[in-house]
Chains A and B, each alone.
Chain A
Amino acid sequence: MQARGLTFSYGRAPVLEDVSLRVDPGEFVALVGPNGSGKSTLLRLLLGSLDPASGEARLFGGPPDQAADRWRLGYVPQRPVLASEVPSTVAEIVAAGRLSRRGWWRPLRQQDRDAVGHALESVGLQDLGRRPLNELSGGQQQRAFIARAFASEPELLVLDEPIAGVDAESQRRFRDALVHLVEHHRAGVLLVSHELSAVAADLDRVVVLKRTVVFDGPPAELIKEGVSLGVHREDLPLWLEALR
């Protein structure tokens, strides 16, 4: 996943200016920035939901809106608001993650059921697969959405604020699952979050966005700025606020 000199504006107000960013296979990258810094817009450009005014976004070597084999991309949206009129089990939700890999018109096979089981196991929900999603806690629901992204066995995982307001146990499970994906499957991970304490020790790079990229480097360099990421939870939000 790559952005080169991306610029975008809603009307006259520029939201992003000359943003460049890259996530390689096996790399664990966090994207942070104060509210209104353009993180969500950058994500939409990188995923092909928006077109840049100038610059270029690339996904698996091509334009993101034309990327074939979309199963290679796992996506965890920011607190998805699922239509919940009809009960859906955790396993049903996670199995949807296999569709882009298997081909949506094809029936799911044993291999797909195994992948769903493995995805549930990796987030610690193997015993809750038959439970309706709306009976689970917020943290467990978020883990189900992460499992849905895992189910396609992605080569690149993009997560948009996945652990906001999630309990400590879910954060620990979440961290273990991401590290497993990066270390054992050499997947690239782009994590958009304000809350990095759970994964601070595992990150390869932190990218700080404030309309443009103001920092891109290993967490150790950010620590030199007095931002500890993991030790003092409030350090990063306070520092980001001071950037405004």
Chain B
Amino acid sequence: MTAALPFPYPFELLFMQRALVAGLVVAIFAPMIGTFLVQKRMSLIGDGIGHIAFAGVGAGLLAGVWPVWTALLFATTGALGIEWLRARRKASGDLALALFFYSGIALGVVLVSRAQGLGTNILSYLFGQPLTASAQDVRVIVGLGILIVTVMLGLRRVLFAVVTDEDWSRVSGLPVGLANNLLAVITAFAVVAAMKIVGLLLVAAMMVLPVASAQLVARSFWGTMRWSIVVSVGSVILGLAASRIWNLAPGGTIVLITAGVFALTAVATRAKGPRSSVSEDLAV
């Protein structure tokens, strides 16, 4: 993407179109993964992996390697570690997250403090900066996005069985360990791919909040996934437009819109009579 396409305001400029393409890719894959994570009651794993990826960013800056690759390495290793602890009941799901969560952010702070002299804007990794996405950034996000969506489509049925009833799936001979580990790895890829758009501290919101809205109106698992993508895509378009028009931080604006959609949906469905409740870990 080297020249701007004839899009209307506020997407008429090249940097806005790059942000839009990258944002839409994230808007599709993040809630796809999030639907399974919410069902598995691991809504915060994206946040935990984001903190581990921050340590990877620090390592990359210090080593002079493009931070996306080191973030990918750290995030994948951390995601598999969290899943290992959870599956072997060495620690409960939230305790496993906390162990990696705090270790990751602590290591990230130490590494970044050593690399401060390099003049990198660390805030763009923490809170996202889609409006400065380069052509290379967009290529990486689109590439990872295609990989993530392809794997999720291939795994969706077995993942559904595993996240809804893990014990039954094991007795039925389904590859429970493989499915859980692949979901962890794909989540790590998604966190790193979305890092530039909403930032490591907000990436979990793109996975979870659209699902929180969708499960209030949908009546099936796959319906929830479809609605959550609709909410997510709409939030990205509106968020980027709003950030351009009113000069707001785009990552935060996108996430605030998804939270707003949830609030409106919750009020609307309550007025009609709530169909299902939202668990504590989904509450905003």
Contact = CB atoms under 8 A, between A and B. Distances in A.
A93 to B, nearest CB: 7
Contacts of A87: 215, 218-221, 223-224, 275-276
A96 B164 contact: yes
A82 interface: yes
B39 A86 contact: yes
Given A85-B38, A86-B221, A87-B215, A134 B276 contact: yes
Contacts of A80: 165, 167-168
Interface of A: 47, 49, 67, 70-71, 73, 75, 77, 80, 82-89, 92-93, 95-97, 99-100, 104-105, 108, 130-132, 134, 148, 152
Contact of B40 (A73, A83, A89, A96): A83
Nearest to A75: B171
B167 A92 contact: no
B158 interface: yes
B167 A77 contact: yes
B138 interface: no
B186 to A, nearest CB: 16
Given A49-B171, A104-B175, A83 B220 contact: no
Given A85-B279, A87-B223, 8 more contacts: A49-B170, A83-B39, A83-B163, A85-B41, A87-B276, A92-B222, A99-B161, A100-B172
Nearest to B171: A75
Contacts of A77: 165, 167-168, 171
B273 interface: no
A149 to B, nearest CB: 9
A70 B41 contact: no
Q: Is the interface of B mostly helix, strand, loop or mixed?
A: helix
B157 interface: yes
Interface in B239-279: 275-276, 279
A132 B173 CA distance: 26
Interface in B100-149: none
Interface string B144-160: 00000000001001101
Contacts of A131: 219
A85 B222 contact: no
A75 B218 CA distance: 29
A109 to B, nearest CB: 13
Contact of B172 (A70, A85, A88, A89): A70
B220 A130 contact: yes
Nearest to B225: A86
A82 B160 CA distance: 11
B283 to A, nearest CB: 12
Given A83-B41, A86-B211, A88-B164, A104 B219 contact: no
What's the interface size class on B, roughly? 35 or more
B37 to A, nearest CB: 10
A99 B172 contact: yes
Contacts of B282: 85
Contact of A89 (B41, B173, B174, B221): B221
Contacts of A104: 157-158, 161, 174-175
Interface of B: 35, 38-41, 154, 157-158, 160-161, 163-165, 167-175, 211, 215, 218-224, 275-276, 279, 282
Q: Is the interface of A mostly helix, strand, loop or mixed?
A: loop
A96 B157 contact: yes
A49 B168 CA distance: 11
8 tightest CB-CB pairs across the interface, nearest first?
A70-B173, A104-B158, A96-B161, A89-B220, A88-B221, A86-B39, A75-B171, A100-B172
Nearest to B223: A87
Contacts of A82: 164-165
Contacts of B165: 77, 80, 82-83, 96
Nearest to B228: A86
B173 A71 contact: yes
27 contacts: A70-B171, A75-B171, A77-B165, A80-B165, A82-B165, A83-B41, A83-B163, A85-B41, A86-B35, A86-B38, A86-B215, A86-B221, A87-B218, A87-B221, A88-B160, A88-B164, A92-B220, A92-B221, A92-B222, A93-B164, A96-B160, A96-B165, A99-B172, A100-B172, A104-B161, A104-B174, A104-B175
Given A83-B40, A96-B160, A96-B161, A73 B221 contact: no
A204 B279 CA distance: 46
A82 B211 CA distance: 18
A132 B276 CA distance: 10
